[in-house]
Structure 1
Amino acid sequence: MKHKRRNIFIVIMLILFLGLADKSLTAQFNVVEYSDGKRFRDHVVFYPQHQDDEVLWGVSAITNAIKECGADNVYIVLVSDGSGVNVFMKNPRFWGLSRKEKEELRNNEFKAALYELGIKDKNILILADKDKKEGTHYELMEETILKFEKELGSVTHIAHHYKYDDHIMHRKNGETLKKLSDEHKVNDARYFMKPAYVKNIPEDKREYYKSETDMDRERARKSLDQYKIVDEKNQKLGIGYVSAHSYFDHLYRDSNYTSILSVY
């Protein structure tokens, strides 16, 4: 009996030792655990169509990408100038503004949100500023995707879903990436999912990203707030929140600010 008890004691101590060793290695190498999301490649590029899309559909995916890959290797490419949002047409305050003035107001919120998330200025690309024409910039988006793929090699590209989205510009955005993926010109393509459409994606093709630490939750909340704050002095007028308040409120109610991506 004594011999049996001694063996049980040795097994328990061994389990405890291995558990502590595993925690020590996790801390030493800063291993990040994810909720059902597979690992990103060495570099991650997000392609929001409009200002605020990056936080509404990818806020926790962005913070997880920064943790996994480092801030130097996470990029945000804004595809549209965002000047066509309904707020500009419905609110007399904005009547008479030029397209560029509207874009600047939206970009004030956009850049402030990305700052809170830890995205570096040098990693923010605004296609409307690079393109010489107004309107959509899908051709330049395609060129940008291929440029990243060629120069960085190991890249995860994240755009809007090409089918399951109720916004035509979002779908066109996703179609641009899906086409290149189908042509095997990019190796890792994933897509933002709006909550209402998640049911259309097979469970094994969904990835869930959450903000599960106090620091990550604070970053997520502050980034969302940048689209809600009215700060006349700094030309921040809460345009994002007014234009999509129901989506913002959905995230505010989610303590983990969940982002869902599709690999399908």
Structure 2
Amino acid sequence: MAGTALITGASSGLGAEFARQLAATGASLVLVARDRDALDRVALDLRSRFGVTVEVLPADLLKRRHLAKVVARIADRERPIDLLVNNAGFGLPLDFASNDIEDEVRHLALHVEVPMRLSHAALGQMLPRGRGRIINVASVAGFIPRSTYGACKGWLISFSRWANGAYGARGVTTTAVCPGFTHTDFHARMGLARGKEGVAPWMWLDARTVVEEGLRDAARGKAVSIPSLKYRVIIALSRLVPPSVSAAVGARGRR
């Protein structure tokens, strides 16, 4: 793609992979994450490997002042954003009743309120130009009962479907990318060692493939992208089984 992409959660995992693949196309980048040092390392690597312009924007998106700074950057019509990738997120244990409610509120804000605000800002400057893309990194958990994580991702999927239908004809598409279990540092940050998550090896995806398929589907204007045939089959089957069975499947991978 040409133009400029802004990516949240860009210092590692899927966010860093989005940055690498977009840089390989020649796109300029705005990288957003809390850890400035990690962002600087990613930016240095991308500049040296691909010769692209990389802007670093350190921000804790759960802090109002930081979030406002990112909203302002997206809304800046003098420096337009052509692709917004809402990727920032974190996970919690699945036992909602045992979790700290303030952690749950922060979890909800980062997965729902933040992408909603950033998408609103992006639409405000994309629609007048008649072009732009928004990618919301959701999850197959949005189709299968999985505590509040699945509920948040379900919101992203529903919103993306609606926004794509509402604004796609005006040149601005919205795509929910819904990976399954993907080898990144997401699970490590939760204290889960690779191979000990209770997930069968065949269910794992690699970040490169997830991002490749997500970007391809976004370029095609699809509202929902489910990387890998096996997860498309799993989601189709989940609609045919009782909710209790779906919930049992959704409980895998995090205790």
TM-score (norm 2): 0.43
| Structure ranking higher on relative contact order (CA contacts 8 Å, 6+ apart) | 1
Pick the structure with greater CA Rg: 1
The alignment's TM-score, normalised by the length of structure 1, stands at: 0.42
